[in-house]
A and B are shown apart, each in its own frame.
Chain A
Amino acid sequence: MAPRLILRGAHRRRIRELSLAAWPLEACGLLEGQDVDGPRTVVAIHPIPNVDPAPDRRYTIDPEAWLRLEHAARRRGQTIIGVWHSHPHGDPTPSSTDRELAWPGWSYLIAGVTNTGMRDLRCWRIDERGCHEQPIVTEIP
């Protein structure tokens, strides 16, 4: 099992809000934090436009928005440690497309949502050996 991901309650609520607002399309964004070997702490959740031509079943992060965010995070002494996105069919496990296009070393936070709410939020590290779940520790607030 991969090291834990530490998330504030406010981050979890923000992902739920953004995912429900985008439903039935996929919402996506980036995770800002410190790139460390052990447990990773998310310091900010950034929504990024989903520029994929089929946003009902895929997401693509707008590269120019990512570029701006990389610069801003570096100025704050942070980095981009992963991606979050929603699965509008409710299952928060990586799809075959997620597995195919994943970058090893990044954290992939997936919100399983339906029209009635967020069913679950789970996090994964994905590499050539497979998907390894990162337990999420939610801190208050």
Chain B
Amino acid sequence: MAEVTLRIPTPLQPYADGNGELRAEAGYVDELLERIGVDHQALVQRIRTRDGQLRPYVNVFVRRTDIRQLQGLETELHDGDEVIVMPSVAGG
């Protein structure tokens, strides 16, 4: 189990009680979201779909690499890792 930091950019902070970062112990990204979701369900709902998949307009980076280029939600975490959620910023 690794102790990691989830960094939350400003657009998502209202769904995390205003926090810019949250710390948790988890072995995988999926597990991290499970644990964060206990206290911050609204935040995790904006990252994952109801069936647990990563939302198409959300990017999650571990060690500055998009987890879609790693093992997705099953990407392993190490002590001190920074996990960053970047929602899509778009318009017309």
| Chain A contact residues, CB within 8 Å of chain B | 26, 30, 35, 52, 57-61, 63-64, 66-67, 70, 79-81, 83, 85, 94-98, 101-106, 108
Contacts A67-B61, A67-B86 known; A108 to B91 CB distance under 8 Å? yes
Other A-B pairs, 17, CB within 8 Å; known A70-B9, A106-B10: A30-B89, A58-B92, A59-B92, A60-B90, A61-B88, A61-B89, A63-B89, A66-B9, A70-B86, A81-B10, A95-B92, A97-B92, A101-B91, A103-B89, A104-B14, A105-B11, A106-B11
Residues of A within 8 A of B92 (CB): 26, 57-59, 95-98
Mark interface residues in B55-92 (1 if CB within 8 Å of A CB, else 0): 00001010010100000000000000000101111111
Which of A52, A81, A108 has the most CB atoms of chain B within a 10 A radius of its CB?
A52
In the complex, residue of chain B having the shortest beta-carbon distance to the beta carbon of A81:
B10
Q: Quick one: given A97-B92, A101-B91, are A80 and B9 in contact (CB under 8 Å)?
A: yes
Count of chain A to chain B residue pairs whose CB atoms are closer than 8 Å in the complex? 69
Across-interface contacts of B13 in A (CB, < 8 A): 105
Contact partner of B90 among A52, A80, A105, CB < 8 A?
A52
B12: chain A residues at CB < 8 Å are 103
Write out the residue numbers on chain A whose beta carbons fall within 8 Å of the beta carbon of B87: 103
A67 vs B9: C-alpha distance in the bound complex, in angstroms?
Answer: 9
Nearest-Cβ distance from residue B68 to partner chain A, whole angstroms: 11
Cβ of B86 and Cβ of A83 under 8 Å apart? no
Q: Mark interface residues in B15-58 (1 if CB within 8 Å of A CB, else 0).
A: 00000000000000000000000000000000000000000000
When the two chains form their complex, are residues B91 and A102 in contact, meaning their CB atoms are under 8 A apart? yes
Chain A, Cβ-Cβ closest to B57: A101
Chain B residues contacting A66 (CB-CB under 8 Å) are 9, 86, 89
A106 to B91 alpha-carbon distance, docked (Å): 13
The 9 listed contacts between A and B (C-beta, < 8 Å) are A35-B10, A58-B90, A61-B88, A61-B89, A61-B90, A63-B88, A101-B89, A103-B87, A105-B14
What's the least CB distance linking B57 to chain A, in Å? Answer: 8
Q: Which residues of A contact B9 (CB under 8 A)?
A: 66, 70, 80
- A-B pairs, top 3 by smallest CB distance, nearest first, are A97-B92, A103-B11, A98-B91
